[in-house]
A and B are shown apart, each in its own frame.
Chain A
Amino acid sequence: MTKDNPAYKFSMQVDYGKYLEFAAATGFKPKPEKEMPVVPPTFLATAEAWLPPGTWPAGEILGFDLKRSLHGEQEFIFHKPIRVGDRLNGRIWLESTFSKTGSRGGEMRFSIWVTDFDDEKGNSVAQSKMTIVETGSEK
C-alpha cells in the first residue's frame, strides 16, 4: 500500500451542521455560516463519519486488537485553511509499521496512517497523520 494505492478513498463535504456539532463537542465558538468559517484544527477527525460505519484500518489491514489499541499521536498539516463549504477527497494509506518491546515485556506494534486531503481540483490541502499502538497481550 502506498500513497498512490491507498487503502481507502472517500469524499467529504465540510458542511455547516457538522461544523456546529463539532464546535459544540469541543467548546469551540462557531461563526456564522455566511462567513464560510475556517474549521478548527482537529475538525478533519470527522472524515471518519464519511467512511463506512466501523471502518478501522489498523484492525482490517494489520489485525490490531481494538481492545488493546490506543491512539498514540495525531498530527494535522494545512496547506490552506479548510472552510465550511469545501469538498475534499481523501486517501488513507499506511506510512509505516514497527514493533518495540513494551515495559511489561509484550510486543507493542505501531502503525502510522496518513490521510491526504485534496480539493476538487486535485490540489493537496491538508494531511493527517495518526499513530495507532497495539499494546502487548500480557495485560
Chain B
Amino acid sequence: MNLNESQVIATREFGPISRTDIVRYQGASGDFNPIHHDIEFAKSAGFDDVFVVGMLIAGYLATFASDLVGVESINKFKIRFQAQTWPGDQILCSAKIIFADQHINGNERLVTLELIAKNQNGVLAATAQADARISSDSLLLSSK
C-alpha cells in the first residue's frame, strides 16, 4: 500500500454561488434564517449583504466526499465553519486522506478524509472531516 497521508487526492469547484442557489438550499433544508436571503435584515444585523448558508458549503463538501468514497460508506461527517462566503463566491474544495487504518477488516479499511473549502481569494471558508469504510483495493488507497 503506497499511501501518502498528506497528499491532495482530489479537487473540485462549486459555484459561483448565486442568490438563487442560497434560496434553493434554504427551501430544501427548511432553514429560513432571513440573514441569508433578506438584504434589509442582513444590513440591520451589521452586514453589507446576505451571506451564504454555512450548511450549503457543508453540502458541497459532503457531495465531494460522497463522490470520492461512495455515499453509503461515510459514517461520520464533521465541519467547522471558518469564514463567511458571499453571493458570487466560488468554492474551491480539496481532499486529503489524513488517516487510513492499516488493519483490513474483511475487505474494508477505515479512512478519514480531510476536506477544505476556500473561496476564490484563498480565504478558508470551512474545514471538514469524513470517516468512511472503503474497499481495501480502492484506487484512492493505491494511487501514486
Number of A-B residue pairs with CB-CB distance less than 8 Å in the complex they form: 113
A62 contacts partner chain B, Cβ-Cβ < 8 Å:
no
Q: Among B2-10, B25-33, B104-112, B135-143, which stretch is in contact with chain A?
A: B25-33
Instruction: Report the Cα distance A29→B67, complex, angstroms.
Output: 9
A122 within 8 A of B: no
Complex-state Cα separation, A73 to B77, whole angstroms: 11
Report Cα–Cα, A76/B65, bound state, in Å. Answer: 14
- B29 contact from A48, A68, A72, A73, Cβ within 8 A: A48
Scan residues 31-67 of chain A and give those whose CB is less than 8 A from a CB of chain B: 37-42, 45-51, 53-54, 66-67
Query: Could you say which of A28, A47, A72 has the most chain B C-beta atoms within 10 Å of its C-beta?
Result: A28
- Among residues of A, the one whose C-beta sits closest to the C-beta of B80 is A73
Whether the Cβ atoms of A38 and B71 lie closer than 8 Å is yes
Whether B29 lies near A49 (C-beta < 8 A) is yes
Would you call B29 and A75 a contact (CB within 8 A)? no
Residues of A within 8 A of B45 (CB): 66-68
Q: With A75-B76, A75-B78, A77-B76 in contact, do A28 and B29 touch (Cβ < 8 Å)?
A: no
* Residues of B contacting A: mostly: helix
CB of B87 to closest CB in A, whole Å: 15
Question: Which residue on chain A has the smallest CB distance to residue B22?
Answer: A25
Q: In this complex, what residue of A is CB-closest to B47?
A: A67
- Cβ < 8 Å to A, chain B residues 92-137: 130
- Shortest Cβ distance from B103 into chain A, in angstroms? 21
Q: How far is the CA of A50 from the CA of B93 in the complex (A)?
A: 31
Count of residues in A whose CB is under 8 Å from the partner chain: 39
A18 partner residues in chain B, CB cutoff 8 A: 28
Encode contact with A along B1-41: 1 for CB under 8 Å, 0 otherwise.
00000000000001000000100110111111101000001
A71/B62 in contact, CB under 8 A: no
Do residues B55 and A74 form an inter-chain contact, with CB atoms below 8 A? Answer: yes
**Closest-CB distance, B90 to chain A (whole angstroms):** 13
A67 to B59, CA, bound (A): 23
Q: Which residues on the B side are within 8 Å of A78 (C-beta)?
A: 74-76
B80 touches A46 (CB 8 A): no
A103 cross-chain contacts in B, Cβ below 8 A: none
> Known: A38-B71, A50-B30, A139-B46. Contact between A71 and B24, CB under 8 A?
no
Q: Is A28's CB under 8 angstroms from B63's CB?
A: yes
Once bound together, how far apart are the Cα atoms of A18 and B80, in whole Å? 25
Q: A26-B60, A73-B78 are in contact. Are A67 and B44 (CB under 8 A)?
A: yes
